[in-house]
Amino acid sequence: MADGSLLVQVIDRETKTPIPDCRINIYSTATDTQKTLAENVPTNISGQTSIINLPAPDIEYSQKPSDVRPYSDYVVEVIKDGYIDVIVEGVQIFATQISIQTIELDKIQNTRFMRQESEIIVIGANTLWGNYPPKIPEAPNKVIPPPSGFVVLDYPQVPEYIVVHDGSPDDNSAPNYWVRYKDYIKNVASSEIYSTWPISTIYANVCAIVSFTLNRVFTEWYRGKGKNFTITSSTAFDHKWIYGRNIFENISLIVDDIFNLYFKRPADRRQPLLAQYCDGVQVQCPTWMTQWGSKYQGDLGKSYDGILKYFYGNDIGFDRAQVVTGVPTSYPGYTLGIGSSGNAVRTIQTQLNRIAQNYPAIPKMKVDGVYGDSTAESVRVFQEVFRLPVTGTVDFRTWFKISDIFVAVTKIAELK
């Protein structure tokens, strides 16, 4: 056995404000008797626990198909006075990796009954370990329907939300979930590959997930069929998305880096390729990428684009969706740091000051359009809180993370 790590972050579902002073309990189910591994771990002013080390299988079990499950799973319980308790079963921990479990709490509405039945979230197995139906093959490029009652996009866009149908397309009893786009990509990648794989392999798989997802958005595949969702959680049709699951920090950072990067065929200059794939062990798919195959290509030192071209052909080209729906101001195209000035700096200062109302650990600053020491310090604390590389500068990744959090805290309960 080796150690992996877990960070739990707790926020109020309605206000999107971090909740300090929660009590976090962690239990192991590896034996017949549930064992307490951590008890009453507190959350800080940013709603986060310290990093908690937990046993996990040796990393070797995730490097090739194995009869040994390559991760441990745990039960995480969150208790806070005035809120409904949440219990998450199946939180996955890999050796050497940091896992992040975000939990949203609902306030108890009837204060006469301060204890209510707990909300229980069950996380299913990773698709490389569990038993899920294989992808039903589709044409990788779709016929773009003419404009109708639905809005058909002229070019690929990153949506603010993905509406996930948690079941097969025709299962009308399955619920729909509104999920922020990047959170969706992080969830799928954490559900479908192993975070211990080579970085280039993870980049390749994330890019394929992004390309597939943006194809569904661009072609309005399900809405064009009269459905009220963007994509499903069925592996037979789309990707595996699991409600409430933990994500992995390295996967999260990679998604933040390339969330709008897709690939396409030269014959269709606009449409992101519906990048289908399979595991390559339980299921074979000669004309698609295989997940284990991409892992071995990463082991050989292949770049992420080299991996993708190896499977999808040398003729694929890469592009970025330039319009990011829901982002108040576009990224200026360069990194902001000490000495920068202008409207882009003013935007960051304004947004960070608003975020600081919800996350008081972040120091406020004067909004003057000048990137000085106080702005750099505010950025550094923001990066610490949201698990980004702490540089004190605003690059592509940090700009859009600030935008995401700003939008989240200023659009409280917009879907209610």
- Which mean pLDDT values do the consecutive 10-residue runs of the chain (416 residues) have? 93 93 93 83 97 96 96 97 95 98 92 74 97 92 62 78 96 96 97 98 98 94 92 97 98 97 86 94 91 98 98 95 79 96 97 96 97 98 97 96 92 48
The CATH classification number of 2-122 equals: 2.60.40.10
Domain ranges of the chain: 2-122, 157-324, 343-410
Residue 309 to residue 287: CA distance in whole angstroms = 12
Residues counted in the chain: 416
Residue 80 to residue 17: CA distance in whole angstroms = 14
pLDDT at 111: 64
* DSSP H/E element including 292: helix 291-299
Supply the DSSP symbol for 67: S
Do β-strands 35-42 and 23-28 pair in parallel, antiparallel, or remain unpaired? antiparallel
How far, in whole angstroms, is CA 74 from its chain's centroid?
20
Find out whether 330 and 324 touch, Cβ atoms under 8 Å: yes
Tell me the one-letter amino acid at 200: S
Full DSSP string of 167-234: S-TT-TTSPEEEEEHHHHHHHHHHHHS-TTS-HHHHHHHHHHHHHHHHHHHHHTTTGGGT-S-SEES-
How far, in whole angstroms, is CA 312 from its chain's centroid?
24
Q: What angle do CA 164, 167, 169 make, to 5 degrees?
A: 85
Q: What does the pLDDT look like over 30-80, one tens digit per residue?
A: 776 678 899 999 999 999 999 999 999 999 999 999 999 999 999 999 999
Residue 141 to residue 212: CA distance in whole angstroms = 10
Supply the DSSP symbol for 378: H
According to DSSP, the residues that pair with 146 across neighbouring strands are: none
pLDDT at 351: 97
Tell me the one-letter amino acid at 142: K
Q: State the alpha helices, DSSP H only, in 321-414.
A: 343-358, 373-385, 396-410
Reported pTM: 0.93
Question: Own/partner pairs for 276-284, CB < 8 Å, 24+ apart?
Answer: 276/135, 276/137, 276/138, 276/140, 276/212, 277/135, 277/205, 277/208, 277/311, 278/134, 278/135, 279/127, 279/128, 281/65, 282/134, 283/134, 283/135
